[in-house]
Structure formats: C-alpha cells, structure tokens
Amino acid sequence: MTDLSRYEEFAEALEMIDDEEMRFEYIIDLGRQYERDDPFPQEWKIETNLMHGCMSKVWIVDDVDDDGRHHFRGHSDAIIVNGLVGMMTEAFSGLTGAELQTITVDHVRRLNLGALTTQRQVGMMAMLKHLQKLGRGNGAMAGAENHDDHS
C-alpha cells in the first residue's frame, strides 16, 4: 500500500487556502521554513546531485533504506523553488521505487492549485521525473519498468 499521507497533508493544506496569492505566499514560507529548520548540507551541493535544466539550481539527494524506500532531500537557491522542492521531496519520500512510478501528473497538479505559473508546473513535473529516475536507478525495485509511462 503506497503511503501518501504526507502528500495528502500538503494537498489538503493547499486546498484549504482559497486565495491564490496566499497559496503563493505559503510556498514562499515553506521554502524559508526548510531553509531555517532543516538546512541542506553545503557538502551535498555538488554537481552529481544537481538537477539540470532548471532556471534556479536544484539539488536532490536520495537515501534508500533497508526496505528499499527512498528518502529524498532537496534544495534550491531560490526560496520559491526551495519550497516546491521541499514539498515534492517530502510528499514522495518513503515510497519504494515501484510505488514512485505510480505517481502521476494528477498528483502533482493537486500541489499546484493555480498558485503557480505553467513554467513552475513544468518544473514540478521535471522534479517528479527526476525522483522517478532516482527511484529506477536503484536495484531495490524490480519491475519498475512496467510502470514507466505514468507522466
């Protein structure tokens, strides 16, 4: 059973804010909060962790536990993107490689809710694909190729 409880918390929190401007500020606050409470280690900001093709720098690290579950940490040098990366990596951490492949564009859309422009939505989809790539890259998840076409 795919545990998406953290994802649901984010989606519900965003749904409760009915003003677009407020949702935008929520993402900014989130970005600032991650930076303050759980700063991304400087030594992780290296080329191998860099996600290419972003307007701001985005680093994502993947730690796989003994059960084959992926625990992501992400960071961006732009606060808004940091909020989005933090939300995405937290929402989809704790999943197996195979479970990660079942996450679709619809999941990501619920984290948008109009607060974000198309460009950022595209950025979030790119992040999901990156997480899924990391998920596939690990031997712990046999059969993931069967679930490869969800985005």
Partner 1 sequence: MTMAKVATDRIDQTAALDVAAARADFPILKETVYGRPLVYLDSAASAQKPRAVLDAVQEAYEKRYSNVHRGAHRLSQLATDAFEEARETVARFINARSADEIIFTRNATEAINLVAASYGRTFLAAGDEIVLTEMEHHANIVPWQLLRDQIGVVLRIVPIDDDGVLRLDSLAALFGPRTRLVAVTHCSNVLGTVNPVQEIVRLAHDHGVPVVVDGSQGIVHAGADMQAMDADFYAFTGHKLYGPSGIGVLYGKQDLLERMPPYQGGGEMIDHVSFAKTTFKTPPHRFEAGTPPIVQAIGLAAAVRYVSALGMDAIRAHEQALLAEATAALEQVGGVRIFGRAPGKAAIISFLVGSLHPYDVAAVLDRDGVAVRVGQHCAEPLMARLGVDGTARASFALYNDGTDVEALVKAIHKAKRLLG
**Residues with a known catalytic role:** 54
Interface pick for partner 1 out of 77, 122, 129, 148 (rule CB under 8 A): 77
Side-chain-side CA neighbours of 104 within 13 Å: the count stands at 5
Q: Are 89 and 74 in contact (CB under 8 A)?
A: yes
Alpha-carbon distances, residue 148 vs 95, 106, 113, 134 (angstroms):
15, 15, 26, 13
Interface pick for partner 1 out of 3, 117, 129, 145 (rule CB under 8 A): 117
State which residue, 28 or 142, has the beta carbon closest to partner 1.
28
Interface pick for partner 1 out of 80, 113, 126, 140 (rule CB under 8 A): 80
18 contributes a contact to partner 1 by CB under 8 A: no
For residues 95 and 11, what is the distance between their CA atoms, to the nearest angstrom?
17
Q: Which stretch binds partner 1 (CB under 8 A): 20-28, 34-42, 92-100, 138-146?
A: 20-28
Interface pick for partner 1 out of 79, 113, 125, 140 (rule CB under 8 A): 79
3 contributes a contact to partner 1 by CB under 8 A: no
20 contributes a contact to partner 1 by CB under 8 A: yes
For residues 80 and 116, what is the distance between their CA atoms, to the nearest angstrom?
10
Smallest gap from Cβ 80 to partner 1, in A, equals: 5
Only one residue has tokens 């951490």, namely: 93
13 contributes a contact to partner 1 by CB under 8 A: no
E strands along 1-151, which residues? Answer: 50-51, 58-64, 69-76, 95-96
For residues 50 and 106, what is the distance between their CA atoms, to the nearest angstrom?
25
Chain residues that interact with partner 1, rule: CB under 8 A: 20-21, 24-25, 28, 55-57, 77-81, 117, 120
